[in-house]
């Protein structure tokens, strides 16, 4: 108690010195507090984003057309069917991985409807208009979940319809000029085509086999984008349970097996018209996202290193297939907050170092002026350890008030400072990033955009943050006091009193 009374009297009696020390601690402490609060808030934004986005991994490719139409895999050229099976098999294997909470990927193929008055009509021969028969594996599928489309009439699929592969469909409002309504039945044709180069306009003379399927319309959708997944025209999409598409492909395979060979040769039945898209894995734990993404990337190495894709240096000319993690999406969509976090973290480190150096010099100068006072106390029998203890206690007591004031002031200041930094960063960059370093359109994999991420930035300070800041600043203060305390240890009171020091 006597020690504390002595320290308080020393602070009051040396008012000017105490105010100088308080001011230095306050301003440097406010810089540390402000930058620390901004950095922690930035980290909270990332946590919020990842909480909403989930631990997800997407497999995508940059080509607009079917990936199986462009790449011949491995050292031995595979047929298109073998390519599809290899690709599909790899993805199915990872769907069973214990790290995976759920997985989803859609498949689609071309089917046709008879059209005699199509504007694309090129001859008097009856011809067919193509549609994308789009197989989904969940009622709230990707295009619906991400608001690429919205339901105008009817409903989406039930879980039972998905599992059983019911012959029901959801069509675009423009289908057949809008004449088809919920409850109607549409007929689509699975065609065996001689010349697949004309898949979009197929004349009767180019068809060697035809099987019809009937689908009951349960819903009508409106497209919010001119095109949805992979640039597929939304008005040509017909959504069905995935197993319906698989059944249509089985029919197509039979057509080619039975008739295709006689029409277009040995390779006809080796070509698949199936394609995979909207590939998504949701993991149980965000910690697994890096390792899982790496495992898939390695398994798809063969697909990216097909012999048609190898350059003179032995490296792939282009990575057709890419694995995108939800953490990468944040890096692209939330680049402003990420930059702010990195900047504020740097300021915290520099501020702590500056605080320690400046305080060390300040304390050293103060003790230099107190050498006579210290010498007298030591001559009167006061131990060095007691003097050091009182000195440290004096600076800690001042720091408690200085840091408390700095914390309050920085809480008020950090909001306008961070807003200013965000705006300056946006103006400096003058852009909104929507693609990653590889040119992949990252934004389409997230419901949140750059502004949504910025709106998440809300300055908050928890009790834990306050404790962390005080620990950091007190630690920095104690470190700064180490060197000046050497002065007390080495002080010789007799020499000081005789004027030798």
Which pLDDT tens digit goes with each residue over 72-81?
433 344 455 5
Is the same domain home to 239 and 103? yes
Q: Say yes or no: 17 and 80 in one domain.
A: no
Residues 196 and 268 in one domain: yes
Q: Is there a single domain that holds both residue 35 and residue 174?
A: no
Domain total in the chain: 2
Considering the domain architecture, whether residues 167 and 199 belong to the same structural domain is answered as yes
pLDDT (0 to 100) of residue 269? 45
Q: How many CA atoms lie within 13 A of 307 on its CB side?
A: 6
Q: Which of 284, 305, 322 is the last residue of a domain?
A: 284
33 token code pair = 């507090």
pLDDT of 425:
74
Q: Is residue 316 part of a domain?
A: no
Q: Considering the domain boundaries, does residue 157 fall inside one?
A: yes
277, 387: one domain: no
User: What domain range is 403 assigned to?
Assistant: 2-50+335-497
Question: Are 80 and 148 in the same domain?
Answer: yes
39 in the same domain as 87: no
Do both 232 and 130 map to the same domain? yes
Strand segments (E) across 64-164? 100-115, 127-136, 149-154
Q: 211: closest CA among 235, 247, 262? A: 247
Q: Are residues 24 and 71 in the same domain?
A: no
DSSP state letter for 78: P
What are 422's two structure tokens?
């965000």
Looking at 219, 253, 284, the residue that finishes a domain is 284
Residue 327, in any domain of the structure: no
Q: What is the pLDDT of residue 126?
A: 57
Q: How far apart are CA 356 and CA 1, in angstroms?
A: 29
Q: Look at residue 159 and tell me if it is in a domain.
A: yes
- Asked whether residue 404 is assigned to any structural domain, the reply reads yes
Q: Is residue 309 part of a domain?
A: no
Residue 371: closest CA among 493, 484, 498, 482:
493
**Residue 325 within a domain:** no
Give the predicted TM-score (pTM) of the model: 0.64
- Enumerate residue ranges in the chain where pLDDT < 50: 63-78, 117-124, 227-231, 268-270, 306-317, 434, 438-440
CA distances (Å), 39 to each of 32, 236, 337, 449, in order? Answer: 10, 48, 9, 21
Contacts of residue 245, defined as CB under 8 A and 6 or more positions apart, other chains included, come to 107, 108, 109, 133, 134, 135, 274
Same structural domain, 235 and 87: yes
Cα gap 69→83, rounded to integer Å = 9
State the alpha helices, DSSP H only, in 105-207: 142-145, 159-164
3-state class (DSSP) for residue 170: strand
Residue 408 to residues 347, 411, 463, 471: CA-CA distances in angstroms? 19, 5, 13, 16
In a shared domain, residues 265 and 345 = no
């Amino acid at each position: 108690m006597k020690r504390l009374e002595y320290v308080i009297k020393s602070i009051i009696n040396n008012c000017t010195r105490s105010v100088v020390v308080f001011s230095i601690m306050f301003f440097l402490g406010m810089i540390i507090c402000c930058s620390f609060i901004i950095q922690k808030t930035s980290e909270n934004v990332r946590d919020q984003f990842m909480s909403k986005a989930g631990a997800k991994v997407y497999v995508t490719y940059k080509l607009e057309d079917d990936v199986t139409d462009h790449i011949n895999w491995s050292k031995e050229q595979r047929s298109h069917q073998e390519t599809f099976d290899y690709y599909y098999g790899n993805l199915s294997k990872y769907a069973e991985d214990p790290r995976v909470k759920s997985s989803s990927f859609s498949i689609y193929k071309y089917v046709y409807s008879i059209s005699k008055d199509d504007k694309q009509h090129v001859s008097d021969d009856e011809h067919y208009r193509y549609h994308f028969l789009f197989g989904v594996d969940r009622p709230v599928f990707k295009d619906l979940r991400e608001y690429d489309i919205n339901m105008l009439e009817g409903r989406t699929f039930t879980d039972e319809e998905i599992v059983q592969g019911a012959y029901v469909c959801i069509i675009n409002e423009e289908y057949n000029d809008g004449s088809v309504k919920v409850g109607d039945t549409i007929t689509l044709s699975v065609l065996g085509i001689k010349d697949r180069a004309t898949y979009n306009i197929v004349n009767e003379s180019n068809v060697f086999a035809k099987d019809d399927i009937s689908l009951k319309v349960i819903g009508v959708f409106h497209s919010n984008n001119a095109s949805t997944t992979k640039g597929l025209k939304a008005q040509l999409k017909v959504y069905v349970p995935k197993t319906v598409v698989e059944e249509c492909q089985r029919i197509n395979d039979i057509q080619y097996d039975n008739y295709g060979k006689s029409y277009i040769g040995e390779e006809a039945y080796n070509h698949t018209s199936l394609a995979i898209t909207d590939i998504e894995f949701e993991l149980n734990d965000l910690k697994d996202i890096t390792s899982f993404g790496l495992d898939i990337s390695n398994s798809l190495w063969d697909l990216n290193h097909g012999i048609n894709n190898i350059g003179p240096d032995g490296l792939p000319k282009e990575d057709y297939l890419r694995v995108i993690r939800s953490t990468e999406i944040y890096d692209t969509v939330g680049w402003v907050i990420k930059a702010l976090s990195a900047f504020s973290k740097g300021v915290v480190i520099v501020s702590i170092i500056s605080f320690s150096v400046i305080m060390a010099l300040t304390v050293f100068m103060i003790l230099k002026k107190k050498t006579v006072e210290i010498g007298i106390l030591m001559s009167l029998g006061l131990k060095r350890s007691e003097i050091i203890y009182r000195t440290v206690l004096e600076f800690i007591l001042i720091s408690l008030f200085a840091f408390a004031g700095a914390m309050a002031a920085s809480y008020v200041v950090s909001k306008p400072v961070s807003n200013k930094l965000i705006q300056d960063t946006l103006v400096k960059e003058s852009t909104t990033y929507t693609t990653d370093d590889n040119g992949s359109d990252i934004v389409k994999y997230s419901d949140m955009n750059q502004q949504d991420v910025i709106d998440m930035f809300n300055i908050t300070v928890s009790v834990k943050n306050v404790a962390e800041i005080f620990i950091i600043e007190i630690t920095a203060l104690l470190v700064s006091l180490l060197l000046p305390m050497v002065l007390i240890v080495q002080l010789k009171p007799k020499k000081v009193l005789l004027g030798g020091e």
